[in-house]
């Protein structure tokens, strides 16, 4: 790893100040960034650690929404009574990320800002129509994820909180890569009063995406049968040593059906 200057600001304004320097990068839980720096795939000159910045942690129910601070660790989300009461699927998703030691460090804000095409949280945000709140503005999930490891975040923008509208029911089904536990394919289905949203991670060449055909079918009739005939076009899906695009397209259908069945079974 190349050396860098390390900064540990105590508030958002100073964190933003450090980001004005050339080649500055934010450090949240570091479970992706540190390995990336070790491989010299990233070499920031300034590393701005958010762990001491006040007001970035915590989980609370605010009316219709579940609001999670950006620096909240995966283990905290997984073990939170508030999360598991409001959106149990989100708690289970967090419980399935990496391994226990990774979950003790990794954060929701870091995962979203990184937008790994195989990460779990982007699927939850997109299916639940979450709002990503930054030091400057609020960004809807549909606008936030803009491509492979790309987001709508500006260079001096910092994710502070994520607000999830609490759905009627939701489920996340993941086919984990047996070695990395990243999603080979993951499908998040959320059913709310105004319809159904289906988001897929692990499969898209441009990262997380929605499946409008499934959403329309499920909004009309919420049953596993409704999604059965719907084909996913493999031409924009990831193909690698772990699975071909055609296999991933098949998995999207299987996992979507299982997610709908899981929702149908929950009270």
Partner 1 sequence: MPKVNLTVNGKPVSADIEARTLLVTMLRETLKLTGTHVGCDTSQCGACVVHVDGKAVKSCTMLAVQADGARVVTIEGLATDGTLHPMQEAFRENHGLQCGFCTPGMIMTAVDLVNREGNELDEHAIREGLEGNLCRCTGYHNIVKSIAAGARAMKGKRRAA
**Rule CB under 8 A: which residues touch partner 1?**
1-6, 8, 27, 30-31, 34-35, 37-38, 47, 49, 51, 75, 79, 98-102, 104-105, 179, 181
Rank residues 40 and 267 by Cβ distance to partner 1 and give the closer one. Answer: 40
Chain mean position to CA 45:
27
- As measured in angstroms, the least distance from the Cβ of 22 to partner 1 is 17
Rank residues 35 and 140 by Cβ distance to partner 1 and give the closer one. Answer: 35
Q: What is the biggest distance separating any 2 CA atoms in the chain, rounded to whole angstroms?
A: 56
Rank residues 36 and 244 by Cβ distance to partner 1 and give the closer one. Answer: 36
Q: Helix (H, G, I), strand (E, B), or coil: what is residue 78?
A: helix
Q: What is the CA radius of gyration of the chain?
A: 18
Which class for 258: exposed (0-12), middle (13-18), buried (19 or more C-beta within 10 A)? middle
Q: Helix (H, G, I), strand (E, B), or coil: what is residue 151?
A: strand
Rank residues 13 and 101 by Cβ distance to partner 1 and give the closer one. Answer: 101
Rank residues 50 and 211 by Cβ distance to partner 1 and give the closer one. Answer: 50
- As measured in angstroms, the least distance from the Cβ of 209 to partner 1 is 27
- As measured in angstroms, the least distance from the Cβ of 6 to partner 1 is 4
Q: Helix (H, G, I), strand (E, B), or coil: what is residue 4?
A: coil
Q: In what order do the strands lie in the sheet with 183-192?
A: 169-176, 183-192, 195-201, 209-210
- As measured in angstroms, the least distance from the Cβ of 194 to partner 1 is 37
DSSP state of 231: P
- As measured in angstroms, the least distance from the Cβ of 64 to partner 1 is 31
């Amino acid at each position: 790893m190349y050396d860098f200057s390390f900064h540990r600001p105590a508030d958002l304004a100073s964190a933003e100040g450090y980001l004005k320097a050339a080649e500055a990068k934010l450090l949240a839980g570091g479970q992706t960034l540190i390995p990336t720096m070790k491989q010299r795939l990233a070499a920031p000159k300034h590393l701005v650690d958010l762990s001491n910045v006040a007001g970035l942690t915590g989980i609370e129910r605010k009316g219709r929404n579940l609001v999670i601070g950006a620096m909240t660790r995966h283990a905290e989300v997984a073990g939170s009574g508030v999360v598991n009461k409001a959106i149990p699927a989100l708690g289970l998703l967090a419980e399935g990320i990496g391994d226990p030691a990774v979950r003790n460090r990794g954060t929701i804000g870091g995962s979203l800002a990184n937008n790994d095409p195989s990460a779990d949280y982007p699927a939850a945000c997109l299916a639940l129509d979450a709002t990503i709140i930054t030091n400057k503005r609020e960004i809807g999930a549909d606008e936030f994820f803009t491509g492979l490891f790309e987001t709508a975040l500006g260079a001096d923008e910092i994710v502070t909180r994520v607000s999830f509208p609490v759905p009627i029911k939701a489920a996340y089904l993941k086919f984990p890569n047996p070695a990395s536990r990243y999603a080979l394919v993951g499908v998040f289905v959320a059913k709310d009063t105004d319809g159904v949203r289906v988001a897929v991670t692990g499969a898209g060449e441009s990262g997380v995406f929605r499946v409008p055909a499934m959403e329309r079918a499920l909004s009309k009739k919420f049953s596993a049968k409704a999604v059965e005939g719907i084909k996913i076009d493999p031409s924009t899906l990831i193909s690698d040593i772990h699975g071909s695009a055609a296999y991933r397209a098949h998995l999207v259908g299987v996992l979507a059906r299982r997610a709908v069945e899981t929702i149908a079974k929950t009270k």
